[in-house]
Structure 1
Amino acid sequence: MRIGYVRVSTEQQHTERQEILLEDVDKFFIDRCSGKNTNRPELNKMLSFVRSGDVVIVESISRFARSTRDLLQLIDILTKKDVNFVSKKESLDTSTPSGKFMLTVFGALAELEREQILQRQKEGIAIAKSKGLYKGRNRMVNNDFDQIYAQWLEGKITATQAIKKLSWSKATFYRRVKERTIHNEEIN
């Protein structure tokens, strides 16, 4: 089955231009919302609807995904379902060797972009630290930690309950548990 996915950013925008370009599809899924993320009702319905052998067709990649990361994640979902992807504007068709290659190029560019962002971030932090401007995030403090930690150690509450009571992330809770354990070992 040939599935058309159409997206416009607002209720007031028209979809006809995209629908005309996708005239040879069997079924449409049309979202009228921002493409800033993949949390879109019709996109999710379409991803649930497609079956092995189907083809998802879009007018352009920007109508399907706004970021390379989202694009690659969506294509991965389709690939796992044995569904091909076609973008008319970019002439991308994942059923062809050149289409798969172009998708690989998109993936490589996304990875390069992520690595460059991380590198710039590390460099910026190093410069800020050398100037004494970077101290990291403020430490999460909860005056009830000792009491909640004791309840958790005694098995009166679960870790999930302790985390909820503290309003901390799981990582913060276990980091503090580790710190406390090391501190207690040093004392003994």
Structure 2
Amino acid sequence: MKVGYARVSTIDQELGGQVDALTAAGCERVFSEKVSGTSTAGRDKLQEAMDFVRKGDALVVTRVDRLARSIGDLQQLVGTLRAKKVDLLATEQPVDTSTAAGKCFLDMLGVFAEFETNLRRERQTEGIERAKARGVYKGRKPSIDADRVRELHGQGMGATAIAKQLGIGRASVYRVLA
């Protein structure tokens, strides 16, 4: 049985093209989700697909980066599939883990997917640094009113009561008061 897995990173992106390609490739069941691919953590539909596949099945993706963006995650997923005797196929790339060439190409694609993620992170960091230098980037607005924490503490209120009143964690109260 061919089992498909489709993923996009943001709510604004559409899964339709991937789902159509997987269905056209003969997938009888397709799991899909809108979640970042930088980690396998929190990807419930991926876990469902991994649990669903059985010996002799093939997990099909359109591209390897839909499955994993780090070589470590990719190798872990492929190891799990291999242990279950499930092949991995990609519709848009020559990936077929039932062949030596397909396995080799998969590893190369995994390296490039991780490289792309790292480049994107570096560009983002550089952009933030440039924006900070120009005084444009201010970062996230503080979610804790430090003056209010100090004021309530000055009135004799304890950390637990302050945290409860302001809807924040006690550790946050202690950080402000330190």
Instruction: Using structure 1 for the length normalisation, give the TM-score.
Output: 0.55
Q: Does 1:135 align with 2:138?
A: yes
Q: Does 1:103 align with 2:106?
A: yes
Q: Name the CA shift for 1:102/1:133 in 2 (closer, same or farther; >3 Å).
A: same
Unaligned ranges ≥5, structure 1: 23-27, 153-161, 184-188
Unaligned ranges ≥5, structure 2: 7-14, 36-42
Q: State the distance in 1 between where 2:136 and 2:52 align.
A: 52
SS at match of 1:132: coil
Partners of 2:71 and 2:110 within 8 A in 1: no
Q: State the distance in 2 between where 1:111 and 1:100 align.
A: 17
Deviation string 1:108-144 (CA, Å, 9 cap, x unpaired) is 1122112212221222222222222222221112546
Residue in 2 that maps onto 1:61: 62
SS at match of 2:126: helix
Q: State the distance in 1 between where 2:67 and 2:77 align.
A: 16
Matches within 5 A, 1:31-42: 31=31, 36-37=34-35, 39-40=44-45
Q: Does 1:18 align with 2:21?
A: no
Q: 2:127 aligns with which of 124, 127, 130?
A: 124
Identity within the alignment, %: 25
Q: State the distance in 1 between where 2:98 and 2:92 align.
A: 16
SS at match of 1:69: coil
The higher-RCO structure (CA 8 Å, 6+ apart) is: 2
Residue in 2 that maps onto 1:80: 80
Q: Number of residue pairs matched?
A: 152
The alpha-carbon deviation at position 67 of structure 1 amounts to: 6.4
RMSD: 4.2
The alpha-carbon deviation at position 72 of structure 1 amounts to: 7.7
Paired residue type of 1:17 = A
Larger radius of gyration: 1
